[in-house]
Amino acid sequence: MRGKAYLLGAVIALIGAAIYVAHASERADGEAAPLFGIKIPPGYRDWKVISVAHEAGNNNDLRAVLGNDIAIKAYREDKLPFPDGSIIARLAWSYVPSEENNTAFGREQSFVAGPPINLQFMVKDSKKYATTGGWGFAQFKDGKPNAD
Amino acid sequence: MRGKAYLLGAVIALIGAAIYVAHASERADGEAAPLFGIKIPPGYRDWKVISVAHEAGNNNDLRAVLGNDIAIKAYREDKLPFPDGSIIARLAWSYVPSEENNTAFGREQSFVAGPPINLQFMVKDSKKYATTGGWGFAQFKDGKPNAD
C-alpha cells in the first residue's frame, strides 16, 4: 500500500499548495518590461506544461515552465529551434517544506510551492530580437516589470 | 543583470529538460487500474497546472499537479470540496541535477525533470468512491497500471 500512502500524501499537499498556485493568470497592468518591451501575455496561466524544476542556491524556488500553443506544437513535433511567436513562461514559487506531508511521512521530505516569487517570459522573434539570439526576455513581480 | 543570467540559465535548462517532459499524453493501452477501475484520461497532458512540488526521500522526484477543467474551475472559484467529475493528475519525473546550468552558475543549484517515474490520478465521484472520501486513486507507469 505504499502507492496509496503517496496518493494520500498528494491530496494533503494539494490542499496546502493550492492556496498559492491554482489561480488564473496574474493580473497585469499592461506595463511593458524595459529592454525588450514585453508585456504579460494574456492567459499564460492556462498554457501547457513543458517542464518543472527546482532552483536551489539563492533562488530556492520551485518552477513550472509553460509554453504557448506555438511553442508546445514545436516541442511535440520536434521542430526546434522554436518558430517566431513562441513564448515560454517560467513561474517561480518559494520552495517550502510541507508540514502536513512531513508530519504524515514522519520525516522531512516534501517540498511544495509557497508564495509566488516572480514570472519570466521568453518571446521568440528572430527579427526584433536578432541581437539576443532571437529571444526577448522579461521578468515581472506582482504584475509589474521587475529586474531583480 | 542577475535577472538576465537566470533567464539564460532557464533556456539552457529547457533544452535539457525538454527531452523528457514536453511530450503529449503518455500512450495508454486502455487498461484500468485495479481497486478503483480508473483509466488514463485522454489529453491529461494538456491540463492546466495546479501546483509543482519536490518529493525528496525515497521518491526523489519533481512533480507537476494538473487538473481537468472541472477541477481547475472549482479551484479558481474557491468552490471546494471538488465537485464530482474533478480529476487531478500527478506527473512525476526523476529529480536530476542540471549539468549545463550548474556549469553556467559555477555551483550545484539547478535540478530539473529527468526521466518520467510514474503518473497518478485522483478522480472525484462521491457515490462510486464513497468509502474513500469520494476519491478514487490510480497509478500508471509506462502507460500501464502500477502499484509501486
Please judge whether A57 and B146 are an interchain contact, meaning their C-beta atoms are less than 8 angstroms apart. Answer: no
Which chain A residues are closer than 8 Å to B107 by Cβ?
Answer: 57
Please judge whether B3 and A107 are an interchain contact, meaning their C-beta atoms are less than 8 angstroms apart. Answer: no
Locate the chain A residue with the closest alpha carbon to B110.
Answer: A55
So what's the pLDDT on residue A26? 60
Residue A122, number of CB atoms within 10 A of its CB: 27
- Whether the CB-CB separation of A90 and A116 falls below 8 Å is answered with no
Give burial (CB, 10 Å; 0-12/13-18/19+) of B2. exposed
Q: What is the mean pLDDT of residues A14-43?
A: 70
Please judge whether B90 and A10 are an interchain contact, meaning their C-beta atoms are less than 8 angstroms apart. Answer: yes
pLDDT in tens, chain B (148 residues): 344 444 444 444 444 444 455 555 665 567 888 889 999 999 999 999 999 999 998 889 999 999 999 999 999 998 989 999 999 999 999 999 988 888 887 888 889 999 999 999 999 999 999 999 999 999 999 999 987 6
Please judge whether B49 and A49 are an interchain contact, meaning their C-beta atoms are less than 8 angstroms apart. Answer: yes
Q: Which of A24, A48, A146 sits opposite B76 (nearest CB)?
A: A24
Q: Which of A90, A109, A135 sits opposite B57 (nearest CB)?
A: A109
**Predicted-complex ipTM score:** 0.80
- Residue-wise pLDDT for A101-130, tens only, equals 888 878 888 899 999 999 999 999 999 999
* Cα(A6)–Cα(A125) distance, integer angstroms: 43
Q: What is the mean pLDDT of residues A82-94?
A: 96
- Rounded to a whole number, what is the distance in Å from the CA of A133 to chain B's nearest CA? 11
So what's the pLDDT on residue B59? 83
Q: Please state the three-class secondary structure of chain B as a single string.
A: CHHHHHHHHHHHHHHHHHHHHCCCCCCCCCCCCCCCCCCCCCCHHHCEEEEEEEECCCCCEEEEEEECHHHHHHHHCCCCCCCCCCEEEEEEEEEEECHHHHHHHCCCCEEEEEEEEEEEEEEECCCCCHHHCCEEEEEEECCEECCC
* Cα(A38)–Cα(A30) distance, integer angstroms: 10
